[in-house]
Amino acid sequence: MKRIDRDNRAVRRSRLGIKGKILLFLTAVIVPFTVLISILIYQNALRRSTYMSVKHAQDLVGNTEANLTSYLDELSLIPNECNYNYYIQEYLKDAIKQGKQESIPKDAENLHRYEMFSSTIETTLQERSDTTSIRIFGKNRQLLAKTIYPDEQDDEISVRDGWYRNAVAGYGDVYFCGPEDIRRSGSTTKKGSNLILSSMIRDSDDGSFLGVVRVDFNLNKIAEFMDNITIEDYEHIGLLNQEGKLIYEKHSGNNLLNEKMLAALQTCLQNGRWKNGFHQTELCGTQYHIVMTDIPMAGWTIVDLQPHAEIVRDARGSSLTIEIVVLLIFAAILILLNSLLNRIVNPIVELQRHMNMVTLDNDMPALPVDTQDELGMLVYNFNRMTNRINHLSAQLMEEQKKKRQYELQALQAQINPHFIYNTLDSIIWMAELQDPNVVPMTEALAKLMRISLSRGREFIPVADEMEQVRNYLVIQSMRYQDKFDYSVETAEDVRQLLTIKLIVQPLVENSIYHGIKEKEGKCHLDVRAFREGKDLVFLVRDDGLGMDEKTCASILTERSFHDKPKGKGNGIGVFNVNERIQLEYGKDYGVSYRSEVGKGTEARICIPCVEENKEVSL
């Protein structure tokens, strides 16, 4: 048993079971599969969120661009109007003709024209929240006309001023510049909120230069467009001018367009590699998604910045849910599979454990059959097989026992012919001497023979058994005259009890041959039968030679001790008596010896009390 267990454990350690194999295999398949699917989902999500963010940015930038373009179109109608206004044209022509140096018109007609056009401009100025002043500068950059409410600014212009040079170079096209710092007299300068629109006014007669109109406007309207845009938390949208300076920006707290970033962006814009549209690039060590669009009429650029990391985070967020679901599905599959496999493997394991326990030594209880499937059939068939084995082994045991009993009975039935010969010889000798004892001797022999046969029965009453012993002792006491006295006592209450026949006589024979015969002087031999509790006890006691402990112990264990008949005894032997008793009544019963050298031996047979007419069964 233990060895099998050890083997099994070794098997388990070195090789996986069916369940383990299947689960391992499936895990090996599923894990890469899950990883693959997760990667796919993540990539899709990334692509998707990139697509969405770019689309969003493009919509945003596109809308802003459209809004700003139409706004700038609208603004440019102010310088445009100067080109188409009769009064301005006439006033400026006059002014140039007179070499005008100052802004106040001199003659009445001039004044009227000045009034006419300034009223037009004035209305524009008042109606618009974004225009702060409209001024016209002449050829020598002198101020020719201005609105009545200009911002407090220098009317002096410098040769270097871009708005003037570019307006002249633009030949009537509008030119945008700024933002510029607004200088207010005496107070602090307000930074970068003033934009300039300038355009050349051309003579409608010959296209010659009349002046440059300069419109100053603030960020009110641009702010209105930009502030209405809804942007993501991490997004930054900025409006840059030709030089890459920030005109206006919108962000939700996360200012991406710091000065360093602006500089980097400027470099990218100015090296001309970037066209309108989407770019993914690294600026100042961070990956950005950038969508940009030009506003060609102003040379401005709208830039939308989104950090790549945020889009990745978005993608992660959206793919995580699906990934978790996939993982859960696979976990559920494994768990379900595990329980399914348990239902298959556990009965097999149970069966196998059961098989290990099957030996011929003990009976096997049947295994319960749980299912009607292949496994159920297997268990059922196994049960049938063990059942059959049990049955066969019981049968075999029975047969063995029977066989042994027959053997013993056969041995028992024999009376040593040598004994009979010796007895008969003694009888002949006694008859010749006309010894009166010849009759009891012969009678005893006859009785002995009769009880021995006892009509083939195996069980006889204790009284008969004791009678047999007495007859035997009669014969022996005559053969060995003066060698020993004997007494045979049978308790009244045991006389009718049944016993296996011929179990006491071999012990008596043993006592005579081994204890008494060799001893000098007269010995005593007592044979008694009595009840002791529930047991029936035969006691054979002599005061012969006795045995040492070793010999005493070996009587019952060594079959060969007296078994080799040397023509003495009837050949049954104490060992066989003991075996027979135990075969018949069980291990609790049998023969026991107590002996002391020089003092005598006591043999004791213990069997259960069995009433007559009751078959002994085990």
Partner 1 sequence: MRKLFIILVLCTLSLAGCGSSFEGEKISLSSEENISVKTDSGALQQPDRLSEEGVSSSVSAGEAGEEGQEDAQIVCGVCIASDQASYQVRLQKLMTEQAEVKNIRILWNYADWDPELQNSQIENMIERRVDALIISPVNSKSILESLKDASSVGIPVINLNMKVDAYSSVYIDTYVGASSSEEGVLAAELADILLPDGGKAAIIEGSAGTDPQIYRTQAFIDELRDKPEIQIEEILSANWDRKQAKTCAEELLQKYADLSLIYCQDNNMAAGAIEAVKRSGRSGKVYVIGIGEADEETVGLLKEGSLSGFIVQDPEFEAVSAINSADQLAKGRKIRPWIKNPVSILTADTIGDYQKPIPYL
Task: Find the radius of gyration of the CA atoms of the chain.
Answer: 66
The reply to whether 351 sits near partner 1 by the rule CB under 8 A is: no
Neighbours of 105 (CB within 10 A): 21
Site string for partner 1, 547-586 (x = CB under 8 A): ----------------------------------------
C-alpha 128/C-alpha 215 separation (Å) is 12
3-class DSSP assignment, residue 121: helix
The reply to whether 210 sits near partner 1 by the rule CB under 8 A is: no
- Between 113 and 514, CB nearer to partner 1: 113
Contact 291, 277 (CB under 8 A): yes
Select from 17, 27, 69, 245 the one that contacts partner 1 (CB under 8 A): 69
> Which range binds partner 1 by CB under 8 A, 129-137, 170-178, 187-195, 365-373?
170-178
Select from 86, 149, 421, 480 the one that contacts partner 1 (CB under 8 A): 86
Select from 23, 116, 231, 320 the one that contacts partner 1 (CB under 8 A): 116
- Between 55 and 402, CB nearer to partner 1: 55
Question: Please, what is the minimum distance in Å from the beta carbon of residue 49 to partner 1?
Answer: 11
Identity at 414, one-letter amino acid code = Q
C-alpha 36/C-alpha 230 separation (Å) is 37
The reply to whether 340 sits near partner 1 by the rule CB under 8 A is: yes
Helices 417-432 and 462-479, axial angle in degrees (round to 10): 60
> Which range binds partner 1 by CB under 8 A, 134-142, 165-173, 249-257, 350-358?
165-173
The reply to whether 25 sits near partner 1 by the rule CB under 8 A is: no
179: cis peptide before it, omega within 30°? yes
Question: Please, what is the minimum distance in Å from the beta carbon of residue 192 to partner 1?
Answer: 26
C-alpha 340/C-alpha 362 separation (Å) is 34
Select from 65, 314, 464, 579 the one that contacts partner 1 (CB under 8 A): 65
CA distances from 61 to 55, 69, 229, 270, 272 (A): 10, 12, 10, 20, 19
> Which range binds partner 1 by CB under 8 A, 84-92, 366-374, 488-496, 601-609?
84-92
Query: Checking phi first, is residue 110 left (phi over 0); if not, alpha (psi -120 to 50) or beta?
Result: alpha
Question: Please, what is the minimum distance in Å from the beta carbon of residue 60 to partner 1?
Answer: 10
> Which range binds partner 1 by CB under 8 A, 54-62, 238-246, 384-392, 560-568?
54-62
Site string for partner 1, 273-302 (x = CB under 8 A): x-xxxxxxx-----------xx-xx-----
Q: Using alpha carbons only, what angle is made at residue 201 by residues 199 and 204, rounded to the nearest 5 degrees?
A: 145
C-alpha 169/C-alpha 165 separation (Å) is 6
Q: Which one, of 157, 175, 154, 158, lies nearest residue 166 by Cα?
A: 175
Q: How far is CA 83 from the centre of its chain?
A: 84
The reply to whether 463 sits near partner 1 by the rule CB under 8 A is: no
Task: List residues binding partner 1 (CB under 8 A).
Answer: 33, 37, 40-41, 44, 47-48, 50-51, 54-55, 58-59, 61-62, 65-66, 69, 73-74, 76-77, 80-81, 83-87, 89-90, 116, 169-173, 202-205, 207, 273, 275-281, 293-294, 296-297, 326, 329, 333, 336-337, 340
